[in-house]
Amino acid sequence: MKQLSIAKPVRGVGIGLHKGEPIEILLEPLEANSGIVFFRSDLNLSYKAQANNVIDTKMATVIGDDKGFVSTIEHLMSAINAYGIDNIRIVLNANEAPIMDGSSISFCMMLDEAGIKELDAPKQIMVIKKAVEVRDGDRFVRLLPTKIPRINYTIKFDNPIIGEQNYNFEFSKKNYIEQIARARTFGFLKDANALRAMNLGLGASLENAIILDDNKILNPEGLRFKDEFVRHKILDAIGDLTLLGYRVFGDYISYAGSHHLNHLLTKEVLKDSSAYEIVSVEKGYEEAYEGVFA
């Protein structure tokens, strides 16, 4: 199995979640062993999507440095991961990726338009060899060795609409598109008002997020899935784990996880070389790997 990029450039435009302004996005092919690279065209700065470039995880996953940053990358990264793309350049003219409809389906459509190109280099994956866990009270995220990668995610909110939800997802591109890609981000009306008071969340609307008050969903169309909330958390986790720099072959389990815990998990994995093995797919794992990420 070979590394993948996209076959041709593709452009899009969407609103930024925090500034509420139009953002141009261009996806471009990259050669083998380049990785996933974000390029700020307005600053002429590049940032590789990897754990050591993460600078914030409060409300989204943010990469950058003291010269600039790119925020809200997790939905796009999630789609890139699901499509098995190893090398791609994402050109943005602002400090955040566009929110689109609050899910990753628009990015999936862009990748479908661009097409997938096989490169002349073997694909490499990160095979988890032992359990790695990060906890914060009763909240935790965990990676485990596996033969078939799955994500088991549980959320619990003190809100009657969400409550406690669990979803068990078996990772494949097909399953991702059918079960996860359309799940939207969500938030509470009181928090949205607080963010706007801080000049943030200016692009949030019923067009790109599920908005709830104390006892109902404000979106007139309702939910896309009855458990859309936990499905979106899985979407986020898939994006965050892409920052390990390789496609992860392991089980991910979470209870009340977050971008912050996911980031701590990636750092915990990378600091322990006995926790994983980087494997060339041409040398093994072909049967188990086939269909999982591509």
* pLDDT given for residue 232 in this prediction: 98
- Taking the chain, what is the end-to-end CA distance rounded to the nearest angstrom? 10
Residues 226 and 153 in one domain: yes
Q: Taking each helix axis as running N to C, give the angle between helix 74-82 and helix 228-241, from 0 to 180 degrees, rounded to the nearest 10.
A: 80
Residues 134 and 100 in one domain: no
Q: Among 64, 96, 123, where does a domain finish?
A: 123
Residues 287 and 143 in one domain: yes
- The pLDDT tens digits for 178-233 are 999 999 999 998 887 777 776 667 788 899 999 999 889 999 999 999 999 999 99
The mean of the pLDDT values for the chain is 93
Residues 87 and 207 in one domain: no
Record the tokens describing residue 248, joined without a space: 């992860």
- The pLDDT tens digits for 96-153 are 999 999 999 999 999 999 999 999 999 999 999 999 999 999 999 999 999 999 999 9
Residues 106 and 156 in one domain: no
Domain range enclosing 194: 125-291
Written as one letter, the residue type at 135 is R
Residues 248 and 146 in one domain: yes
How many domains does the chain contain in total?
2
* pLDDT given for residue 52 in this prediction: 97
Residues 215 and 107 in one domain: no
- CA–CA distance, 260 with 126 (Å, rounded to integer): 21
Residues 68 and 181 in one domain: no
Cβ partners under 8 Å of residue 256, min gap 6: 138, 139, 140, 154, 155, 156
Q: Specify whether the CB–CB gap between 4 and 84 falls below 8 A.
A: yes
- The pLDDT tens digits for 252-263 are 999 999 999 999
pTM of the full structure: 0.94
Residues 140 and 261 in one domain: yes
Q: Among 91, 123, 155, where does a domain finish?
A: 123
The C-alpha angle 256, 258, 262, rounded to 5 degrees, equals 115
Residues forming the annotated binding site for Zn(2+)? 75, 232, 236
Percent of the chain topping pLDDT 90 = 86
Which of the residues are catalytic?
259
Residues 104 and 139 in one domain: no
- CA–CA distance, 35 with 30 (Å, rounded to integer): 8
Least confident of 87-91, 212-216, 280-284: 280-284
